[in-house]
Structure 1
Amino acid sequence: MGLAEAILAIVIIVALEAILSVDNAMVLAVMVKPLPPELRKKALLYGIIGAYVLRGLALLFATVIINVWWIQVLGGVYLIYLAVKFFLSRQSDEVRSPEEEVRASVQQSFWRIVVMVNVVDLAFAIDSVLVVVAFSKVFWVIFTGVAIGILLIRLAAGWMVRVMESYPRLEQVAYAVVGWAGLKLTLEGWNLGAEVWLHNEALALHLPKELFLGVTLLILAVGTLWALRSSDRSPSST
């Protein structure tokens, strides 16, 4: 592979990572937001390190990792749990918010969040591994593109946290996307399990990628307009 061809492949892989990881960035933002500002950066930094290691292993053992269907189910169920917990906490004064839970045990929550950030990232990585491998078989080219994509996702997650602090209602939009992404991951894991473990593709429940992307964009568009038109802005934004 020539240099020009390698650069083109890297650009394509970075673009694919960005497109496939719109929901991933929002999930990361939601997961680290309960932490104090100084710990958010550390969580995202450790997440980047973990993501590089896990993505590298996923690429090296792609034929094995894509068959570990329960990772996607675990990640998906956890995201659904986060979304349900968030919306239920808004309905009951007795349920503590994620921020309050973190304040009660910051260090313990910090490492739990770091671990779950990496678990969820690996769950998201499984479907993207198949896509990027289709564009190049050269490991350093694939890994370079994926590494740049991971860095951009982390930067986007940090930016989203700051935006949600300025427009608090955007957090509800973010959790709606998180729950929707969790459903997608759970179904993908279930479908893979039906094929690999149960050997019965008839049990698969397919969610077309076009439908998932369309609903995601709809949630973001309508939710963002609702949040921005609201007068419920935090003092920090003024």
Structure 2
Amino acid sequence: MLSLSSLTALLQVVLIDITLAGDNAVVVGLAVRRLDPAQRRIAMLVGIGAAAVIRLALAVVATKMLAVIGLRFAGGLLLLWVCWKMYRELRTSEARHEDSAPAPGALRSAITRIIIADLSMSLDNVLAVAGAAGEHMWVLVSGLAISVLLMAVAATLIARLLDRYRWIAWIGLLVVLGVAIELIVGGGNEVLEHIT
């Protein structure tokens, strides 16, 4: 079970997770930033729990997903929709006083955004982790667990920063928008190559 190749694969997986967890953490932090602390914990637990299930499900079918043309493009469009929702929320919160209570349904909305964003952004992470893990299933499962844990820790820190420094939320939105555009362009190129 423990061999040099499996330990090397685990190290690669951890490095991939550290590199790719940031984008997802920004989305989670942006989604929960306006919730009160109790709702924030609920949204993060449910959203990150759903992220774990999504990543495990994606990992099970990761090799088959490589053959699906347009999947990255569709994920980019979903993420673009998440960006639009975040943009509207940021503009609304700028217009209102920050001390006002979260809008009704804010918890459900935050959880929905976390799940949709994670679904659209996790594909690259899962494929990279599955590729690095190779035939070592325990490395794959460990890598997915590490990525979810990193996302939870980073999202908590990001949400706290966003509470104190609102301008960071706009930078975070630009980061997520960049990921959406990258997915759309990359996925669009795949579709065009397949058509031609």
CA drift of 1:175 comes to 2.2
Quick one: which of 139, 152, 155 aligns to 2:153? 155
Q: Give a deviation string over 1:74-105, Cα, whole Å, max 9, x none.
A: 332123313542565478x4xx68996x7231
- Name the % identity: 24
Quick one: which of 144, 147, 155 aligns to 1:146? 144
CA drift of 1:34 comes to 1.9
CA drift of 1:147 comes to 0.9
Across the aligned residues of Structure 1 and Structure 2, the Cα RMSD in angstroms comes to: 2.8
Partner of 1:46: 46
Greater RCO (CA < 8 Å, at least 6 residues apart): 2
5 Å matches for 1:110-149? 110-137=107-134, 138-149=136-147
* 1:9 has 2:9 as partner: yes
| TM-score, normalised relative to structure 2 | 0.82
Change (3 A) 1:38 1:97: same
8 Å Cα contact 2:30-2:162 kept in structure 1: no
Contiguous gaps of at least 5 residues in structure 2: none
| TM-score, normalised relative to structure 1 | 0.69
Change (3 A) 1:127 1:98: farther
2:132 is paired with a residue of what secondary structure? coil
- Structure showing greater radius of gyration is 1
Change (3 A) 1:86 1:110: closer
Partner of 2:58: 58
Change (3 A) 1:70 1:170: closer
Number of residue pairs the alignment of both structures matches: 192
Tell me which amino acid in the other structure corresponds to 2:19: I
* 1:76 has 2:74 as partner: no
CA distance in 2, matches of 1:161, 1:49: 17
CA drift of 1:4 comes to 4.7
2:102 is paired with a residue of what secondary structure? helix
